[in-house]
Amino acid sequence: MTDGANPAHVLIDHALSLRWDDLPDETKARAKTFLHDSLAVGVAGRNAAHADAVLGMVQGWGAGDVASVLGRPDVRLPAPSAAFINGFQIHGQEYDCVHEPAVLHPMATVLAALLAEAQRGEPVTGQQFLTAIVAGVDVAVTLGIAAPDALKFFRPATAGIFGCVAAIASLRAMPRDMALDAFGHALALVSGTMQAHVEGKPALPVQVANAARNSLVAIDLARGGMPGVTRPLDGPFGYFPLMEVREALAPALARLGQGHRITEVSWKPFPTGRAGHGGIVAVQQLRDEQRLAAADLESLEYHAPPLIHRLVGRPAKAGMEPGYARLCMQYLAAVTLLRGKVTLGDFTRESLDDPQVLALAAKITVVADGNPDLAAFVPARAVVRTVDGRLLTQDVTAQLGSPQWPLSETQHMAKALGCLEFAGLEACHDALVAAVAALPNADDAIASLIASGVLS
């Protein structure tokens, strides 16, 4: 497995060793890119389903004006509460970036935790903040790619808390023993069930939020002098025996010396589960290039790896919640065929109950193709039969937004602007772009981001 090395030591030592000046240019660029993307997505999340209720809940946990909430310039909260609501908002509309091989959304937890931590202590530079992002993503993703089987628990939350702890350890240059204690405490605080995904319930972003909040608890326990468990990952009741089917830690840990995982992260061009993106793009191509219209459709089968069937193969139904619809290929493909794309505005009650969309969705199915790779998103194929007897196909060999097919600068900026517009903060767009670009030269990372208008 790890030749006797404690994998917790390997991961914490890696996080503590990173320095901005030593990072490759591609890593630096992607850290800024996905910081910008995640901030914009988190701002849009202020209007996510249930976000106001979640804010009201955390405000009831206690008063304090330590940390900001994305997209809510008049709100400040105790740091753990801010981490919770920011984590919820970043993941609340399934628009946050994803590491596909790890089946993990690393930035929702890591960024939410770092924003809170950076505001409750001594100011941190932009370089420290960005380096901590790289460290946290490295650690969370390493745990994800070290688990080669299908998810048992919701990995963005379960692996995410360890990424958060590593990120804060990097941010604060914590003493090694203290950082290891915090990493050990994370095991006691880890949680996140796939049942919420199966049912399409909003507990998914709640689990992400809880991981971000609990990472601050783990850090504070260690700061208070409480020792944590020493084998949180590979002990007999550690993370991998409890949370995953099996582990492949050695090759995953070896990759820590081979670049940084944030360069492997994918944008989400649509506010849906990542498993739905291939089908959305396939339908766009059928619609635009093969002139398929909704009235022409007799049936559409999306033949895809088992992960796709498992995550988004559910049936569309009247009365479904936004979280369910974001994970429903039938709904997503029907909306795309009718409207050309899927946007933040397609998850209102009116849209979800549109009888034309639901009737079209009933003609769409997801078929598992037997791919032995349980983490694969591609290849896939859309097979259409039309009412006049034609057979149309569209192959999907890469996911739009992936490192193999990245968003252009124009597409990235359009997504960010759309997120800000959804929250009524489009006037902050240029200032946010400038703040993130200048962050490596900032003496106070949070002050620079506050100046952009997306934080208070």
Nearest alpha-carbon partner for 217 in 124, 84, 92, 66: 84
Q: Which helix (H) or strand (E) holds 9?
A: helix 7-17
225 belongs to a structural domain: yes
| φ and ψ at residue 406, rounded to 5 degrees | -70, 160
Residue 322 confidence (pLDDT): 96
Residue 189 burial (10 A CB sphere; 0-12, 13-18, 19+): middle
Give me the helices (H) in 18-96, please. 25-44, 51-59, 79-91
Tokens of 418: 């759309």
Same domain, 175 and 295: no
Same domain, 258 and 283: no
What is the average per-residue pLDDT within 334-338? 98
Give the separation between CA 281 and CA 272, rounded to whole angstroms: 12
What is the torsion angle, in degrees rounded to the nearest 10, for the CA atoms of residue 165, residue 163, residue 181 and residue 83? 30
CATH of the domain at 345: 3.30.1330.120
Residue 53 confidence (pLDDT): 98
The DSSP secondary-structure symbol of 70 reads T
Domain of 304 in residue numbering reads as 274-396
Write out pLDDT tens, residues 43-68. Answer: 999 999 999 999 999 999 999 999 99
Nearest alpha-carbon partner for 363 in 383, 380, 344: 383
Same domain, 25 and 151: yes
List Cα–Cα distances, 241 to 237, 245, 248, in angstroms: 6, 7, 12
125 belongs to a structural domain: yes
Contacts of 135 (CB under 8 A, 6+ apart): 14, 15, 18, 166, 167, 169, 170
Residue 374 confidence (pLDDT): 83
Q: Scan for tokens 């981490």, then name that residue.
A: 83
Q: First CA to last CA across the chain, in angstroms? A: 46
Same domain, 259 and 286: no
Give the separation between CA 146 and CA 138, rounded to whole angstroms: 12
pLDDT-based confidence at residue 235 (cuts at 50, 70, 90): very high
CATH of the domain at 207: 1.10.4100.10
Same domain, 96 and 227: yes
Same domain, 225 and 256: yes
By DSSP bridging, strand 364-368 and strand 297-304 are parallel
Same domain, 33 and 133: yes
Contacts of 56 (CB under 8 A, 6+ apart): none
Residue 150 confidence (pLDDT): 86
pTM: 0.96
When divided into structural domains, the chain yields a total of 2
The pLDDT of residue 1 is above 70:
no
**What percent of the chain lies above the pLDDT cut of 70?**
99
408 belongs to a structural domain: no
What is the average per-residue pLDDT within 384-409? 97
407 belongs to a structural domain: no
136 belongs to a structural domain: yes
Tokens of 216: 């601050």
What is the average per-residue pLDDT within 318-328? 96
The pLDDT of residue 2 is above 60:
no
Same domain, 315 and 361: yes
Same domain, 290 and 436: no
Residue 231 burial (10 A CB sphere; 0-12, 13-18, 19+): middle
Biggest distance spanned by C-alpha atoms of the chain: 73
Tokens of 245: 């089917």
Query: How crowded is residue 106: how many other Cβ atoms within 10 Å of its Cβ?
Result: 32
Same domain, 241 and 279: no
β-bridge mates for residue 299, sequence order: 385
What is the average per-residue pLDDT within 156-171? 98
Collapse the DSSP code of 428 into the 3-class scheme (helix H, G, I; strand E, B; otherwise coil) and give the result.
Answer: helix
Same domain, 390 and 425: no
Same domain, 432 and 338: no
Q: Please answer whether residues 448 and 126 qualify as being in contact, where contact means their C-beta atoms are separated by less than 8 angstroms.
A: yes
289 belongs to a structural domain: yes
Within a 13 Å sphere around the CA of 348, how many CA atoms are in the beta-carbon half? 7
201 belongs to a structural domain: yes
**What percent of the chain lies above the pLDDT cut of 90?**
96
Write out pLDDT tens, residues 239-280. Answer: 999 999 999 999 999 999 899 999 999 999 999 999 999 999
Tokens of 375: 């983490």
404 belongs to a structural domain: no
Nearest alpha-carbon partner for 386 in 293, 288, 285, 316: 293
Residue 387 confidence (pLDDT): 98
